[in-house]
Amino acid sequence: MTFHFSPLTSQNILEQYWGFSSFRGEQEHIINAVLEKKDTLALLPTGGGKSLCFQVPAMMMDGICLVISPLIALMKDQVENLRKRNIPALTINSSMNFFEVKQTLQNAAYGDYKFLYLSPERLQTKLFKEFLPALNICLIAVDEAHCISQWGYDFRPPYLKIAELREELPHVPILAVTASATPKVQQDIVDKLELKDCRIFQQSFERANLSYSAFHVDSKINKVVEILKNVAGSSVVYCKNRRETQNVAQLLRLQHFSADHYHAGLTQEERSRKQEEWINGRTRVIVCTNAFGMGIDKPDVRTVIHYDLPDCLENYYQEAGRAGRDGNRSYAVAVYQSKDTLELQLLPDLKFPSVHDIKKVYQSIADYLDIPVGLGEGNYYDFDLVEFSKNFKYDIHLVLNVLKALESEGHLAFNESIFLPSQIRFSAPKELLEDFENGHPELEPIIKVLLRTYEGIYDNRISVNEKNIARLARITPEVVKEQLKQLQAFGIIEYLAQKETPQLYFLLNRAPAQHLHINNEAYLQRKKQYAERVEVMLNYLDLKTCRSQYIAKYFGEEHPKKCGVCDNCLNAKATRLSEAEFSSIETRIYESIPENGIDIKELLPLLNGIRKEKVWNVLNFLQSEKKLSINEKGYVFRSLS
């Protein structure tokens, strides 16, 4: 298949490749701006269809579109999706070796590919820079663009290097997309990507069919049960950790709900199965950590309940937004106790450990991994967080937060989801191989499969997949592993079995403790910003006005409307009074207050038959008008005037 400048319209492309009949929201405007080669920033809510905003115009341009994305899982997902639609796409990820990366870049440069997905770290590698002039890049798409801002909630330092591409590619437009960026973060994206004469599109953050509410409760589980009894249909319940997902799912099953738990600690098979059961409705409630939801597109979720709170409104909005994609009435509910808000308040000090602690833990890590000062750069290390913390008597959360800090300072990368696939290289000379095969006929088939399937395996370490080899050699994966180990023992191959332990990747050589560079001012500034984001989340819980409006304003919308369906809007409606009602309640109150005042506790029962909220409404009004007063003992007096 070859792609030349296409005379098709964007509408044709949408129909032909995606089978969709029309664009949604701002998609078409964004696509037009890109086609005019304007630098563009697009803010669309999660599920709003950001990918199409660069995929469609790229299909209409000559050349390949570079897509920069922070997570391997997201890249894989999108590339598979494109391939399903017969659009040739490539991805480079951290599990590939040099040879594979080179092969991929060669394909990108000389094959007919339309998309190349990569993580921002990759841009800085020598290999990529070598190939850059050969790549005919038509568009640079920056997905999850908020990652570039240290004021945002998911800062990733390598994003800052994207702008360097501009020097090499001065005429290639950039499209930056994100679901959530406050005005400050938006400005930062424009600055850091050096977007020129930038068009900004922002789709409204309002979701008319979504009713937000928050409940301060004594028992969270009772509240969840009540909600699930009142609102039928699929539900997501978010919890803060793996253990809690199990507990809550268990409690719900005891109440006869069909509920299952989900978190990143489960095997890939378990996760797919649980996800599948929930998507097709066999499981009604999925109780999960925030690992759940990425890339899931279930339209009929009726409730998203937060059993534990995220630490910022950006995450809350994204997670809550998984409810009601189909446009029908849905509920986003946060349930919390005083303990939860207290925990949130303590977070800034926990998440941003002191520079002293950072240096101390850094030293211990380097000692633990046996890295001498001045070495380590570019290496992966197995890192067992639990064992390390135990050995060195650190609190595991402190270690995690120190790793995070070291990550944002560009010293290392720690990613539980980076795992390296098995790798193989032939180490025996070619001329010995035939002899060996004659002597070990049982190993001949697997040798043949390796040589036939993996080009370059004689000279390079190649990533292999045991399941694949098993299929081709018609033996079980267990036997494959066994035979590979034998070949290794005979010195025929070098076999590095797959690693599922988390990897620590050193971006810089080990620094002596006193010289470990932490940009103190920026670090403290980030901590302050973080504390402010937590504050916004806390304020949201306590809010007495429209929740949807609060969220939209936070994301920089100028005049968002009241939603009319959140708890606060409904409350206001229920307690709104007509003039006649007001004066009748006013009269009842006046008649019930004796000359020398009355305890409010005695007054309220005298007004039975009137909604308590309404009584309070009128009482508050009369008090503010100084027509009555309530003293510190709770006594109500009519004013003398």
Interface residue list for Mg ion (CB under 5 A): 50
Q: Exposed, middle or buried, 33 (CB in 10 Å: 0-12/13-18/19+)?
A: buried
**Shortest distance, position 14 Cβ to ligand ADP, whole Å:** 6
Binding status of residue 57 toward ligand ADP by CB under 6 A: no
Distance between CA atoms of 591 and 360, rounded to whole angstroms? 71
**Shortest distance, position 563 Cβ to ligand ADP, whole Å:** 21
Binding status of residue 362 toward ligand ADP by CB under 6 A: no
Q: Which lies closer to ligand ADP via its Cβ, residue 74 or residue 607?
A: 74
Q: Which residue is nearest to Mg ion (CB)?
A: 50
Q: Exposed, middle or buried, 9 (CB in 10 Å: 0-12/13-18/19+)?
A: exposed
- Residues 546 and 323: beta-carbon distance below 8 Å: no
- Applying CB under 6 A, which part among 42-50, 299-307, 462-470, 577-585 lies near ligand ADP? 42-50
Distance between CA atoms of 322 and 234, rounded to whole angstroms? 11
- Applying CB under 6 A, which part among 17-25, 116-124, 357-365, 564-572 lies near ligand ADP? 17-25
Tokens of 116: 């190349």
Which of 3, 11, 12, 20 lies at the binding interface for ligand ADP (CB under 6 A)?
20
Which of 31, 33, 43, 51 lies at the binding interface for ligand ADP (CB under 6 A)?
51
For the chain, the distance separating the N- and C-terminal CA atoms, rounded to the nearest angstrom, is 89
Partner whose footprint covers residue 47, from Mg ion, ligand ADP, none (CB < 5 to 8 Å by kind): ligand ADP
- Residues 619 and 604: beta-carbon distance below 8 Å: no
Which of 10, 50, 199, 333 lies at the binding interface for ligand ADP (CB under 6 A)?
50
- Residues 199 and 39: beta-carbon distance below 8 Å: yes
Containing 628, the helix (H) or strand (E) segment is: strand 628-630
Backbone angles phi, psi at 635, to 5 degrees: -90, 135
Please, where are the H alpha helices in 543-626?
547-554, 567-575, 579-592, 600-606, 612-624
**Shortest distance, position 321 Cβ to ligand ADP, whole Å:** 9
Kindly determine how many residues on this chain lie close enough to bind ligand ADP according to the rule CB under 6 A.
13
Which of 167, 197, 297, 632 lies at the binding interface for ligand ADP (CB under 6 A)?
297
Binding status of residue 23 toward ligand ADP by CB under 6 A: yes
Binding status of residue 43 toward ligand ADP by CB under 6 A: no
Q: Which residue is nearest to ligand ADP (CB)?
A: 49
Scan residues 95-154 and list those touching ligand ADP (CB under 6 A).
none
- Residues 424 and 464: beta-carbon distance below 8 Å: yes
Q: Which lies closer to ligand ADP via its Cβ, residue 144 or residue 260?
A: 144
Distance between CA atoms of 264 and 267, rounded to whole angstroms? 8
Q: Which lies closer to Mg ion via its Cβ, residue 67 or residue 312?
A: 67
Binding status of residue 554 toward ligand ADP by CB under 6 A: no
Partner whose footprint covers residue 490, from Mg ion, ligand ADP, none (CB < 5 to 8 Å by kind): none
Do strands 635-638 and 462-463 pair parallel, antiparallel, or not at all (unpaired)?
Answer: unpaired
Q: What does each C-alpha distance from 464 to 221, 423, 451, 470, 487 come to in angstroms?
A: 46, 6, 11, 11, 15
Binding status of residue 49 toward ligand ADP by CB under 6 A: yes
User: Would you tell me which residues interact with ligand ADP (CB under 6 A)?
Assistant: 20, 23-24, 27, 44, 46-52, 297
